[in-house]
Chain A
Amino acid sequence: MNITTEINSLESFHLAVDETGAKERAASIAGRSIKKESKVAAIKMAVQMIDLTTLEGKDSEGKVHALCQKAMRPLEGSNEIPHVAAVCVYPNLVKTAKHALQGSGVHVASVATAFPSGQSPMKLKLDEVKRVVQLGADEVDMVISRGEFLEGNYKYLYDEVKAIKEACGEAHLKVILETGELETFDNVRKASIISMLAGADFIKTSTGKVQPAATLPVTLVMLEAIRDFYNETGIIVGMKPAGGIKTTKDAIAYLCLVKETLGEKWLTPDLFRMGASSLLNDLLMQYKKEQTGVYQSADYFSND
C-alpha cells in the first residue's frame, strides 16, 4: 500500500500489455470444463450477477415494468432461481423501475453522463447524475470521455470520474470505458487504472452500443488491473463486462476468469456483474436441462 490515489500514481503501474499473450491466456481459461454440480452452481451464481438491461429509444414504462417482474422472479412459479442483481435503464425510466422493484432487493441502475457517447458539457452530466440518484438509482453507470482520453488528457479523465463519483453520493459508480473505442489493451489498462484512482467502484467494458463490446481478453486485462490496483492500494474494485454475453457457456467462462485472476472473494454480485439482456433465458434453459436431462423449447421461458 505504498501509493496514493492521485493521478500521478499512474506511473507506478506497469502499463504494457501484450495482446497475443492476453488473448491466449483468456482462451485457456475459457477452455475450463465445467460440468454437473459446478455447472448448476455457476448458473445460479451467474443469474445473481446479472444487470438485466434495456437501453433503447423505444423503452417505455410497460417494457420496464415487465422487465422488473422478470428480474425479481426469473423462473416463473419457482423460487429455485434467485433474483438478478439489478435492472439497468435510461434515466427517464428510473422512477418506474424503482417503483416496480420496491422491497425486492433488486437494485436500480441507471446509465448517465450523456450515455452512450458522453459528448455533453460536464455540467449537464453532473446534473443528470444527481437527478437519477434523487429518483432512487442505487447504481450509476457513467461513460468516460474517450475523446479526451485518446488525446492524452488523462488528468481530464481523472477529474471527470472524481467529480461524478462525488455527485453519486452513496450510489455505486460503474465507469464504462467503452473498450471497443479504446482499441488497444494498453489503453484499456491505462483507462482502468485512472478510473480506479479517481474513485470508480466498478469498471465496466462497454455501453453495448459499440462493437466489439465485452470480450474475454479485454475483461482479463481489466481484472488484472483490478488485482494490481488492489495489491498497490488495498482498495477493492468490482468488474462488469457488458454487451455480447449471450450464452451460459460465455457466462461460465467469465466466472472462471474472475476465479482464476482475482480469486473467490470477487465471486459475488457485490463485486462482479454481467450486463446482459438475452443471457438470462439461456441460463434458465441450461438450468432446466441440468434438472431434467432434456432441453425445453424457448417457448417455455418468458420473454419480457
Chain B
Amino acid sequence: MTFREKSAALHSVRSANGSTGSSSAASKKPVWEYAPSPEAKDHIEIKPQYDLFINGKWQKAKKYFATVNPATEEKISEAALASKDDVNRAVLSAERAYNKVWSKTPPKERAKYIFRIARIMQEKAREFAVIETMDGGKPIKESKSVDVPLALAHFFYYAGWADKLKYAFPNSAFSPVGVVGQIIPWNFPLLMAAWKIAPALACGNTVVIKSAETTPLTLYKLAEVIQEAGLPEGVVNIISGAGETGAAIVNHPKIQKIAFTGSTEVGKLIMRSVAGTDKKLTLELGGKAANIIFEDAPIDQAVEGIVNGIYFNQGHVCCAGSRLFVQESVKNLVVKKLKHRLRSLRVGDPLDKNTDVGAINSKMQLNKITELVNSGIEEGCSIYQPECELPKRGYFFKPTFFTNVAQSNRIAQEEIFGPVLSVLTFRTPREAIEKANNTQYGLSAGIWTDKGSKIFKMVGAIKAGVVWSNTYNKFNPASPFGGYKESGFGREGGLQGLKEYLKF
C-alpha cells in the first residue's frame, strides 16, 4: 500500500471514530490536550478595601462599592465611591500641588520622577498583570504581553520628553495647562492611565484621574507605586466611582483640561458640559473599524489579523476590527479559514496562560452583547460560533461572527464592544472605501494586500485615525492615536500627545 492510500485509510478510520481533530467537537478523548496552566497569584497583594488616593495619602470615602472578578463572579475587593466633595478635595489638592511644587520643579526633575514610576512598575509587572486580569477578565497572556509592557513604555517614553519640550515645539512659547481631569474606561485600565498620566506629568500638569466602575484595582496599585516613587503629594490624585463622580470632575471649575476615553454617548455629554467654558478637551470614543481583505492578500496572515482585530481582549477594544470587508472573490476561502481558526481559540479561565479569549468585563456588557447578537439573528444575518464549552460561572461569550450582513443591519452600524464580527463583502477598491467610510466612527482600519501601491491608495482614502496595513492592533508610545468624526478628537501618544497638555 502506498503512503497516500495508507493515510487516507487511517484518516477514514479516525473520522468514523468521531475524532477528526479540530474539525468537530469530538466525543472521543483528544490525542493530546493542554493541561490547565494557571498563573500563580500567591505573590500578589490586594487589600480588602481601597480608599481614595488624594494629596499623597489614602483618604476615606463615605461609600464603597464591590469590584468583582468577571470570570468567577466573586468579590475581589471594595473601592471608594468618590462623592462631589471628594472630587473637590482631589482637585484642590492638585491645584495646591501645581502652584506650590510641580510648576516650580525643573523639567529634568519631573523626568526623574516619571522614570522612577516606570521602573517600580516594571519590578511589579507580574503583580500588575495578574490583578488586571482578575479585575477585568482579560487573558493573562495579554495583560503580561500587552497591557503592562505598553503602560511601562508610555511612562518611559514621556519621561524622556519632559526636559526636551522646546525641541518638540521649537520657536514657540508654551506652559503647562494646570490641573487636568482624566476619566478612563474599563477595557485597558492601567494602560489608559499611563496614556493619560505620563504626558500630563511630562508637560508639568497635575492630575485628578478616575478609574472605571468595574476596574478600580490596578489604578490603586499604581497609586502605591506613585507613593513609593516619592512623587510630591497631590501631583497625581487617583479616585474611583461611577458616572456622577466623572460628572463632578468634568464640571469642576478649577480643572483646565478634560481627557476622556470611553463611549461616544458619554463623550457627547461631556462636550455639552464643557461648551462655553475655557477647558481644553480631548475625547477618544467608540469605533466600528473596517478590516479590509483584498484578494491578493496573504490570506493566512489576514485571518490572524481578523482574529487579533476582533477577539483580542474579548473585543473590548475601541479600535477593534469589528467590520470585516472581504473581496467577493475570496470570501468563501476567508470564511472557511476563519471558521477553522475559531475552532482552535481557547475560551475560558483568564488566568490560564493558554487562554486566548477571557471573560466579558461585566454582566451589563454581556447583556449588551447578547442583545445586539440577537438583533443580528432577528434581522436575518447568519451566525457562526465554534463548539466550545464555556465555564459554568462567570461572564463568557463565544467568539462569534456573522455573514450575510448588510450596511443597514444594526450589527454593522453599532459598536458591540464584544467578540462579535460582522462579515461584509465588496467588489472593487472604490466600493471598499465607500463602505469603510460609511459609518459615524473613524478610529481605525486595517488593509490586507500584498500590493504596496494599493496600501497607499487606501490609507489616503480611509477616514480613520490609525490605519494598519498587513497587521492589526499594533501600538507604540511614539505613535499618535485618536479618531475622526464621532470617534473623538485630539491625539494620545507621540509628539501630538504632548501638545494636548500644553498651552501655546
Contact across chains for B31 and A201 when beta carbons are under 8 A apart: no
For the complex, what is the distance from the CA of A39 to the CA of B471, rounded to whole Å?
Answer: 33
Q: Is B382 an interface residue (CB 8 A)?
A: no
Q: Decide: A14 near B32, CB < 8 A? Known: A33-B354, A172-B3, A264-B22.
A: no
B52 to chain A, nearest CB (A): 38
State whether the Cβ of A266 lies closer than 8 Å to any Cβ in chain B. Answer: yes
- B298 with A267: CB separation less than 8 A: no
**CB–CB B1/A170 < 8 A:** yes
Does A263 belong to the interface (CB within 8 Å)?
Answer: yes
Assembled-state Cα–Cα distance A302/B2 (Å): 36
Quick check: is A250 within 8 A (CB to CB) of the other chain?
Answer: no
Determine the residue in chain A with the shortest Cβ distance to B305: A21
Contact B10 A22 (CB under 8 A): no
Query: Is B298 touching A16 in the complex (CB atoms < 8 A)?
Result: yes
Contact of B141 among A24, A31, A35, A224 (CB under 8 A): A31
With the chains together, A264 CA to B353 CA distance in Å?
21
Q: Tell whether, in the assembled complex, residue B8 and residue A265 are in contact, meaning their CB atoms are under 8 Å apart.
A: no
Q: Does A114 contact B (CB under 8 A)?
A: no
**B19-A236 in contact (CB<8A):** no
* Contacts A32-B354, A35-B35, A236-B8 given; does A22 touch B300 at CB 8 Å: yes
Which listed residue, B302, B336, B470, touches A20 by the CB 8 Å rule?
B470
What is the minimal beta-carbon distance from B84 to any residue of chain A, in angstroms?
47
The stretch from A75-83, A145-153, A208-216, A254-262 touching chain B is: A254-262
Q: Which of B258-305 contact A (CB under 8 A)?
A: 296-302, 304-305
- For the complex, give the distance between the alpha carbons of A25 and B30 in Å: 23
Tell me, yes or no, whether A126 is within 8 Å of chain B by CB: no
Contact yes or no, A267 B32, CB < 8 A: yes
Q: Is A17 an interface residue (CB 8 A)?
A: yes
Q: Which residues in A have their C-beta under 8 angstroms from that of B330?
A: 14
Q: How far is the CA of A170 from the CA of B1 in the complex (A)?
A: 7
A263 touching B8 in the complex, CB below 8 Å, given contacts A22-B301, A33-B37, A170-B1: no
On whether the beta carbons of B30 and A38 are closer than 8 Å, the reply is no
Q: Which residues of A contact B328 (CB under 8 A)?
A: none
* Contacting residues of chain A (231-275) with chain B, CB-CB under 8 angstroms: 231, 234-236, 238, 255, 259-260, 262-268, 270-271
CB distance from A136 to the nearest CB of B (A): 17
Q: Complex: how many Å from CA A266 to CA B30?
A: 12
Inter-chain CA distance A141–B88, complex, in Å, is: 77
Q: What are 16 A-B interface contacts by the 8 Å CB criterion? A: A14-B333, A16-B296, A16-B297, A18-B298, A18-B450, A21-B470, A33-B354, A34-B37, A41-B32, A42-B32, A201-B3, A201-B7, A238-B7, A259-B32, A263-B22, A271-B7
Interface residue ranges, B against A (CB under 8 Å)? 1-4, 6-8, 10-11, 14, 19-23, 26, 30-35, 37, 141, 296-302, 304-305, 330, 333, 336, 340, 344, 353-354, 450, 470-471
> Chain A residues in contact with chain B, CB under 8 A?
14, 16-18, 20-22, 24-25, 31-39, 41-42, 45, 170, 172-173, 199, 201, 224, 227, 231, 234-236, 238, 255, 259-260, 262-268, 270-271
Top 6 A-B pairs ranked by shortest CB distance?
Answer: A263-B21, A21-B301, A263-B22, A201-B3, A18-B298, A33-B353
* Contacts A170-B2, A255-B32 known; 8 new A-B pairs at CB < 8 A: A16-B450, A21-B298, A21-B304, A227-B340, A235-B8, A236-B4, A259-B22, A266-B21
